[in-house]
Structure 1
Amino acid sequence: MTDKCDSIMIANCPDIMIYHTIDGKCLSVSPACQIILGYTPQAFKNYSLFELVHPQDQARMQRFYKMLLEQPSRDILSHRWRSRDQNYDWFESSSQIVSDDSSTETKIVTLSRYIPEHRRLEKACQNYAEYADVARLIAIGETTANIAHELNQPLAAIVNYVGGCLRRLEKSHCNSKEVYSALEQARTQAEHAGKIIHGLRNLLKKRELQLSTVTINSLIHAILNLIEFQIHNDEVTVQLQLTEPLPVIRVDANQIEQVLLNLVRNALESMRHCPRRELTIATYFLSENQEIKIEITDSGEGFNEETAQKMFNPFFTTKAEGMGIGLSISRSIVKAHQGRLEAISHPTGGATFCFTLPKIHDEY
């Protein structure tokens, strides 16, 4: 009775259920694959899973199954399957290792749920809004901290000047109580303002980094998924030259994703009016410095020497509607992670923004 119930549930499951080996060989698949992707179960079995997944998702899927072997989990993998009509559709998949006493080969059951385009767009917009909120809050914090720093200097001068006047009045024959009282009030108010701003600066100090162990390539894939619609709409060709494997890094993943997002969005905007739109993202391991290097290269207009000297300054921008804080914030984040952020303009056109992050010692 149990086997019969299982067969009925599999046959009527709206999601695609795949029974396969670790290397992607399909052993059986539920009928839903024909409804969603257009393949009969028998035709689907003629393909390796890695043949049907989008080329840009293959490495992530392979890592997903490798991590599943090392530590079983209920993580969700977002990826694209190729349908019978050669289009790619988005799915969210979860997998579980299945015990099979009759074989030493590892077997896996993967459940893939189709994600309609409108739901994926809603999710991307929600994620983008969250990143925008992070950027806005960081910008407010940095701006207010800078203002506080600038105001503290004249306030300190006021305190010193007023204090000097008070000392002169004490030594001279000028005993005007009204003048003395007014200067005393001025010093009191200036000191009070200084304490308020000092407290404001302490309040706005950057929070401690929320460190976690990740790979930079996984963060790159995450932000590319986030802005895939903008890449598609701008008709940009993306080339990934990601070194595999790379040492793991210990960073605040949200902040490093924000840096990547800022740099990639800047690259996309620089190519908006160019006939050739190519974005290349590369990662390397620099053994001499024990660092991970990330390069983001565009085929845009590049920048001149004057811009190069000012581009990382707060509020400097060449955009009509830009605030000029993205690169400044990005450099601050990278610096907080003991890294460096630099920019190079190429004589033939385009620019490369690169930054480094230290690897975790004794992990590679």
Structure 2
Amino acid sequence: MAPIASVLSEDTLKHFTEGLYQLFRGQTAIAYDGSLTIAGGGEHQVAFNLWQAECNTTPNEVYLSFSSLRERISLEQAKDGLQSDLARSARISLLGEMTASIAHEVNQPLGTIVASAEAGLRWLFRDEPDIAEVKLLLERIAKNGKRAADVITTMRAMASNKKSERLPTDINSVIEEAVLLLRTDFAKRQVTLRLELSPILPLVKADKTQILQVIVNLALNAAQAMSDGQAWNRTLCIRTRQCATDIMVDVEDSGPGIDPHVRERLFDSFFSTKETGIGMGLAICRSVIEAHGSWIELQSTPHLGARFSFGLPAEQTHTNG
């Protein structure tokens, strides 16, 4: 036992001891991942297997084998990298679809800033400058400058390639950021947006950029479905609510609904109902939500619209006492 203990990390030794206990209680085999101390210091990740010989041959003999996890870890890291690159490519594609709308969202406040600055100069150069009027114009400039900055900040987040990081996040604020990018597109498509955001929700632990991508994708798909079809009442509702320990987000439209034959493949990679679509948007939405330990589902009725819903686990709050 001493030679084995000398090369096992503390956690691995604990698993090893528990494995022996389980074997002697009748379990036939134990498998777990751990680490070995290698010559010169440092640790090497390995997969351990413990098993006991059958009683009618050599009773009470325990066998141990281990194999390197280096290749498996490298493959998992490569997979994560590819998924991250694919998700970023999909976000860039989304931004490309909304180029005109985003340009309008930036140009509109910039135009207001220029007009307000010119008006302010005229008030200042009068024989009796109206300081109160100039103050109002400066406040308008500041407000519109922040509006343009918010749009650009959200765009940069969508286009970023930073490492995924899940932090406590206010889901309602993520939805409001998504609306910043989508508002002009909705107006162009004559889509009425209704927000039903629950005012009292716990935070969720999420990658904000990834969840923003999911909401923008679902909302844009809904708006496109309503404008491409014959829906006369084009209403999109984004709703948040709490369901037990999950925070639910619904993206519901009043469009034509989704063909039952299409529904079966809707989340498949490279499947698209659009002529110019690459069919990765909803597949990535599903992978993002599943990576957050949750699910995404679709409810649809022909001619009555569709509703995509996904949940995110609420952050657990701990109180003293």
Q: TM-score range by the shorter chain?
A: 0.5 to 0.7
1:334 equivalenced with 2:289 (yes/no): yes
For 2:256 and 2:143, how far apart are their aligned partners in 1?
40
1:236-258 alpha-carbon deviations (Å, 9 max, x no partner): 11111111110111111011101
- Given the two structures, how large is their TM-score scaled by the length of structure 1? 0.47
Mapping of residues 145-160 of structure 1, within 5 Å = none
Output the amino acid matched with 2:248: K
Tell me which residue corresponds to 1:294: 249
Shift of 1:335: 0.5
Q: Which AA in structure 2 matches 1:311? A: L
Equivalent residue in structure 2 for 1:316, among 260, 271, 283: 271
Displacement after TM superposition at 1:115 (Å)? 2.2
Superposed CA offset, 1:102-156 (max 9, x none): xxxxxxxxxx714279x93x9747854763x46xx8xxxxxxxxxxxxxxxxxxx
Q: Secondary structure at the match of 1:270?
A: helix
**What RMSD, in angstroms, separates the aligned Cα atoms of the two structures?**
3.0
- Cα–Cα, structure 1 residues 245 and 30, in superposed 2: closer, same or farther, change >3 Å? farther
Amino acid corresponding to residue 113 of structure 1 in structure 2: A
SS at match of 1:361: coil
Q: SS in structure 1 opposite 2:176? A: helix
Structure 1 ranges of 4+ moved more than 3 A: 29-37, 122-130
Q: Closer, same or farther in 2 for the Cα pair 1:348/1:360, shift >3 Å?
A: same
Residue type at the aligned position of 2:235: E
Deviation at 1:212, TM superposition (A): 1.6
Uncovered stretches (5+) of structure 2, i.e. residues with no partner:
1-119, 121-130
> Which residue in 2 is equivalent to 1:284?
241
1:108 paired residue number: none
Whether the aligned pair in 2 keeps the contact of 1:248 and 1:363 (CA below 8 Å) is no
Shift of 1:362: 2.5
Partner Cα separation in structure 2 for residue 346 and residue 315 of structure 1 = 24
What is the alpha-carbon distance in structure 1 between the residues aligned to residue 135 and residue 191 of structure 2?
Answer: 31
With over 3 angstroms needed to count, the CA separation of the structure-2 counterparts of 1:129 and 1:323, relative to structure 1, is farther
- Counterpart of 2:205 in structure 1 is 250
Q: Which residue of 2 aligns with 1:113?
A: 142
Question: 2:277 and 2:156 mapped to 1: Cα distance?
Answer: 18
> CA distance change for structure 1 residues 363 and 353 in 2, over 3 Å: closer, same or farther?
farther
- Is it true that 1:217 corresponds to 2:172 in the alignment? yes
Which whole-Å deviations, capped at 9, do the CAs of 1:289-344 have from their partners, x for residues lacking one?
x0000000011111121111100000011111111000000100000101111111
Partner Cα distance (1:363, 1:345) in 2? 39
Write the letter of the residue equivalent to 2:239.
A
Q: Is the 8 A contact 1:209 1:251 kept in 2?
A: no
Structure 2 letter corresponding to 1:276: N
TM-score by length of 2: 0.53
**Equivalent position amino acid for 1:228 in 2:** R
> What is the correspondence of 1:222-241 to structure 2 with a 5 Å cutoff?
222-241=177-196
What is the CA distance between 1:229 and its match in structure 2? 1.3
Equivalent position amino acid for 1:330 in 2 = C
Percentage identity across aligned positions?
A: 29
Distance 1:334 1:116 in 2: 34
Q: 3-state SS of the aligned residue for 1:272?
A: helix
Write the mapping of 1:1-364 to structure 2, written as runs, cut at 5 A: 31-35=133-137, 113-115=142-144, 120=148, 124=151, 127-128=154-155, 131=158, 133=159, 209-273=164-228, 274-287=231-244, 290-362=245-317
Three-state SS of the structure 2 residue aligned to 1:113 is helix
Paired letter, 2:242? F
Change (3 A) 1:303 1:260: same
Q: Distance in 2 between matches of 1:285 and 1:246?
A: 7
Deviation at 1:32, TM superposition (A): 3.2
